[in-house]
């Protein structure tokens, strides 16, 4: 029902509501018709309204907040500026308890709060006060006729739906925390930003108070900024509800997909200097990582820093810190060295040995509390970012001397088995997929060669396959004794990836003064099947004695025969770990 269209409602409102009247002006022209259908259209097109004045005073504010942090400070500041306060339920009680004059919303609407608080602001007096265009004659006439007073400032924060979901609330609890009246008021106020300030956070109100103290009114530019933020907030809120509901009913591909984030930082530029970029975080609880990290020192993270740091930390989190220390060195989102060790210093030096050239200017992730011994080794070469769950005071002090090194502490590790989604934009749309949480164990392996792998080879195969999961396809990894020996990433054919990995292993051995390639006696992992024997033969020539791959090629028999001819062991995982 539109306000004023039902005669019974109009008589009822006129009798019940004692709001201050607004001076009537001449009636506006008749309602226009729709340009296509020709049917009457209620209201006025934007062009039918007089332009809003730049400066708008605030005489009345409606405050209704779930999170009451800073509420009394906000109410006190507004009251001191002569703003009349109107509020609801617990918000009204809190303001009144602070000794401030405040009207209950029921004094305006003539209706009590009802249905367990579900209905209190969904009323023509509230929305008419928010939506009424102050300079439109028809609006002024309607507001005066029905006793609707203008609401110049709305401050609403919403029921804690996201927090309820994050806390593991059951279905009923989540539904009950879906706010209805709040988003409706926010949207009404934001639409009428020509005359109304809409605030969804205490910081928004602070901007309004500052403007009132300086100018006695708010500017149209400020009201537009607040409206834009308000619509973003309701959009994020609705997106969270839609995502939760789809998951709750098991809809993995809903007809409409929405996701939003809150700005963490802007970056100086994007992947390249001519591109703009910003970093956003998803609603809490966020997955532990770069988005939750606390930066202790160094320059602001760049777009590429953030991308590479995420890749490094997700990789190193695959390894349980209770079992072994792990270090990953990343360059351009690909590992150039990963290793395990009894301590971080040992793991770092072993990871560095794999490709010391590429490690220069790289990103380092560790899976344990960073200690001084490891920190001393890390600062020996230029490093862009170090990310760790935590760090000792001495390690932090050592890094403090490296002004260009960023140190990020996350407070924990991401769970490699946790479900989630990943996104990628394409022209005209985006792709969504479930997070790759595949984890292959020894019991998952299907041994397809005459010679079975030794226990050590199985460990090396599983380690190498884990690294392949985090390396751009086509990926081939040589690894031995919990250390990458050579990494071939991002090639258009698998044979070249095997060749590059072998070259890296030989170069690393030469740099370390070792008599033979690091790939000698290694296990070789491929992120997808070998379509021909040539890639496997390349691995054998590099020195690999065992191979792990998904299998599934129409030429598997030829590849198996080549492995048997070389006397190596090979296992199929049945799981592909492409990464593009």
- In sequence order, which ranges of 41-110 are alpha helices (DSSP H)? 71-80, 89-97, 105-109
Structure tokens at 447: 């041994």
User: Angle 124-131/137-145 helices, nearest 10 degrees?
Assistant: 150
The residue assigned the tokens 């259209």 is: 41
DSSP state of 452: P
- Residue 368 burial (C-beta neighbours within 10 Å; 0-12, 13-18, 19+): buried
Q: Please state, in angstroms and rounded to a whole number, the distance separating the CA atoms of residues 42 and 474.
A: 61
The token duo for 306 is 């953030």
Distance CA 468, CA 250 (A): 31
Reading the block at residue 179, the tokens are 């706010």
Angle, CA 457 vertex, CA 451 and CA 461 arms, to 5°? 110
Question: Strand order of the sheet with strand 523-526?
Answer: 294-297, 406-409, 383-388, 362-366, 325-331, 334-341, 483-488, 476-480, 523-526, 546-549, 569-572, 446-447
| Alpha carbons 497 and 487: distance in angstroms, whole number | 8
- Spatial distance between the Cα atoms of 237 and 231, rounded to a whole number of angstroms: 10
Q: DSSP string covering 412-437, please?
A: S---TT---EEEEEETTEEEEEE---
Catalytic residues: 191, 332
Structure tokens at 198: 């809409």
Output the six-digit token pair for 540. Answer: 């054998």
350 CB neighbour count, 10 Å cutoff? 19
Q: What are the structure tokens assigned to 335, written together?
A: 């590992």
**Distance between CA atoms of residues 572 and 555, nearest Å:** 14
Q: Are strands 483-488 and 421-426 parallel, antiparallel or unpaired?
A: unpaired
107: closest CA among 88, 80, 127? Answer: 88
The closest alpha carbon to 535, from 468, 444, 446, 470, belongs to 468
């Amino acid at each position: 029902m539109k306000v004023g269209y039902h005669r019974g409602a109009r008589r009822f409102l006129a009798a019940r509501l004692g709001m201050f009247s607004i001076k009537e002006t001449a009636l506006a022209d008749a309602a226009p018709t729709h340009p296509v259908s020709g049917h009457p259209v209620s209201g006025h097109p934007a062009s039918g309204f007089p332009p809003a004045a730049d400066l708008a005073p605030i005489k009345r504010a409606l405050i209704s907040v779930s999170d009451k942090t800073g509420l009394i400070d906000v109410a006190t500041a507004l009251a001191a500026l002569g703003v009349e306060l109107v509020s609801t339920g617990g918000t009204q009680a809190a303001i009144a308890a602070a000794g401030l004059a405040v009207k209950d919303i029921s004094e305006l609407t003539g209706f009590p709060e009802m249905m367990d608080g579900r209905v209190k602001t969904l009323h023509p007096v509230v929305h008419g006060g928010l939506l009424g265009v102050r300079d439109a004659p028809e609006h002024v006439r309607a507001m005066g006729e029905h006793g609707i007073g203008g609401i110049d400032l709305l401050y609403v924060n919403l029921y804690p739906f996201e927090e309820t979901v994050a806390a593991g609330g059951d279905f009923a609890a989540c539904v009950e925390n879906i706010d209805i009246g709040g988003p409706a008021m926010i949207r009404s106020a934001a639409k009428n930003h020509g005359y109304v300030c809409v605030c969804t956070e205490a910081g928004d109100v602070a901007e309004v108070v500052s403007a009132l103290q300086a100018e006695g009114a708010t500017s149209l530019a400020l009201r537009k900024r607040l409206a834009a933020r308000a619509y973003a907030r309701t959009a994020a809120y609705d997106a969270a509800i839609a995502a939760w509901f789809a998951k709750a009913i098991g809809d993995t591909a809903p007809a409409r997909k929405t996701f939003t984030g809150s700005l963490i930082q802007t970056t100086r530029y994007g992947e390249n200097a001519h591109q703009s970029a910003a970093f956003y975080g998803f609603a809490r609880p966020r997955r532990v990582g770069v988005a939750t990290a606390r930066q202790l020192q160094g320059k602001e993270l760049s777009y590429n820093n953030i991308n590479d740091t995420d890749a490094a930390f997700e990789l190193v989190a695959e390894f349980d810190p209770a079992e072994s220390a792990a270090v990953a060195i990343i360059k351009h989102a690909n590992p150039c060295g990963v290793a395990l060790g009894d301590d971080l210093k040992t793991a770092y030096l072993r990871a560095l040995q794999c490709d010391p050239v590429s490690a220069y200017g790289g990103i380092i992730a560790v899976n344990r509390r960073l200690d001084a011994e490891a920190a001393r080794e890390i600062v020996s070469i230029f490093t862009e970012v170090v990310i760790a769950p935590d760090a000792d005071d001495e390690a932090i002090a050592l890094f403090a001397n490296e002004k260009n090194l960023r140190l990020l502490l996350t407070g924990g590790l991401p769970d490699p088995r946790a479900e989630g989604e990943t996104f990628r934009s394409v022209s005209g749309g985006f792709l969504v997929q479930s997070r790759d949480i595949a984890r292959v164990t020894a019991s998952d392996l299907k041994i397809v060669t005459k010679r079975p792998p030794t226990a050590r080879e199985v460990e090396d195969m599983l380690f190498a396959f884990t690294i392949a999961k985090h390396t751009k396809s086509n990926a081939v990894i040589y690894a031995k004794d919990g250390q990458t020996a050579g990494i071939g990433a991002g090639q258009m054919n698998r044979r070249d990836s095997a060749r590059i990995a072998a070259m890296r292993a030989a170069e690393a051995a030469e740099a370390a003064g070792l008599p033979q390639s690091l790939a000698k006696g290694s296990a070789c992992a491929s992120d997808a099947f070998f379509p021909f024997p040539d890639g496997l033969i390349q691995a054998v020539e590099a020195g690999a004695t065992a191979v792990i791959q998904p299998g599934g090629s129409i030429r598997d028999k030829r590849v198996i025969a080549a492995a048997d001819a070389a006397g190596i062991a090979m296992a199929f995982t049945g799981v592909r770990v492409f990464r593009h």
